[in-house]
A and B are shown apart, each in its own frame.
Chain A
Amino acid sequence: MDAADIGEQSPLPAYVLAETDVRDWIALLKPRVMSLVVFTGAIGLLVAPGRINPVLAFTAVLCIAVAAGACGAINMWYDRDIDAVMHRTRNRPIPAGRIEPGAALAYGVTLAVGSVAMMFLAVNAAAAAVLALSIAFYVFVYTIWLKRRTPQNIVIGGAAGAFPAVVGWAAVTGSVDLVPLILFAIVFFWTPPHFWSLALFANEDYRRAGVPMLPVVVGAKETRRQIVLYTLLLLPLSLAPWWIGFSGPVYGVAAILLGAGFLFSVLRVARDKQDAAGVSLTGDAPARAAFRYSIAYLFVLFAALAVDRLVG
């Protein structure tokens, strides 16, 4: 099944623009995804060596937030056909007929260009360049190229979500070095266990929409194995800021404890009661728990890094 087939099977409803609400324009920005992006960007900014005027720091974080929202709007424009098919997304503003696709695209492009221009004018060229790269990566590499073509979509596409910490760092220092690249790598390796946990319990949705998420292509059993493997890669990487001497024991202990919790959580996913085909007999309860834990993991890990730097 390809995108064109999906579009023909589920024609989008007629647009009733009069029913557009401010909340729909906010929903286009994917505020929940934005919150994690803003947080990692702000941490990158907080832990970077050097000083930045608070107004410019606020502007940098605002630009990261707006750029993330722009990516969300462009993503919803491009994926409106599959969003209409998936239970989880069919009430989004475009498939529900509350916002016209062209208007959503114009909104997203305007915000993307505006956020990069503002970052360049108010903060610095390095932060603006990394921000522009992250938007281009999310839109062209992840959304348009990889998402519908390969089960590795969120592995490679995960880089897009890993950029904000680098942007925050570059906003303060005007450059990129080893530490922001480690933060980038942490988010990069965190993304597969996070998204594949979601994909396990949203498997039917993705199958119906023809999105080749890993459980759709290789099955739930192999996906559970891959989740554990990526988590095992993530754990030593999460200790890297401590090993290279950038952070102290507060972060180190937090990373060990949080990592142990994450490993325990994904091992429960791997040992979930399942039938011969690997389909969960528990309603994917461990995968749901691992998905929730993964969000808390990244928030607390990055918060620990900031606390360690501020008190150390």
Chain B
Amino acid sequence: MRRRRRGRNIALMVVLTALAVLFYAITIAKKMKSG
């Protein structure tokens, strides 16, 4: 059970990190487009 919970936490961390990186990249891309 602890291993499953750990797996879920790691998956959530990976998704959140990827989203943060993506939002950063989108912001740069939009800036380049408008600028």
Interfacial residues, chain A to chain B (CB-CB below 8 A): 18-22, 25, 53, 55-56, 59, 62, 122
Q: Quick one: closest B residue to A57, CB to CB?
A: B29
Chain A's interface: helix, strand, loop or mixed, by majority?
helix
Measured CA separation A55–B31 after assembly (Å): 12
Nearest Cβ distance between residue B28 and chain A, in whole angstroms? 7
**Is there contact, CB below 8 Å, between A55 and B4?**
no
Interfacial residues, chain B to chain A (CB-CB below 8 A): 1, 4, 7-8, 11, 22, 25-26, 28-30, 32-33
20 pairs, A vs B, C-beta closer than 8 Å: A18-B4, A19-B4, A20-B4, A21-B4, A21-B7, A22-B7, A22-B11, A25-B11, A53-B29, A53-B32, A53-B33, A55-B25, A55-B26, A55-B29, A56-B26, A56-B29, A59-B22, A59-B26, A122-B26, A122-B30
Measured CA separation A122–B30 after assembly (Å): 8
Measured CA separation A22–B10 after assembly (Å): 10
Nearest Cβ distance between residue A54 and chain B, in whole angstroms? 8
Query: What residues of A have a CB within 8 angstroms of the CB of B4 in the complex?
Result: 18-22
Nearest Cβ distance between residue A202 and chain B, in whole angstroms? 32
Enumerate the 3 nearest inter-chain pairs by beta-carbon distance, A residue then B residue, closest first. Answer: A55-B29, A53-B29, A22-B11
Measured CA separation A122–B22 after assembly (Å): 10
Nearest Cβ distance between residue A196 and chain B, in whole angstroms? 37
Nearest Cβ distance between residue A66 and chain B, in whole angstroms? 11
Q: Quick one: closest A residue to B11, CB to CB?
A: A22
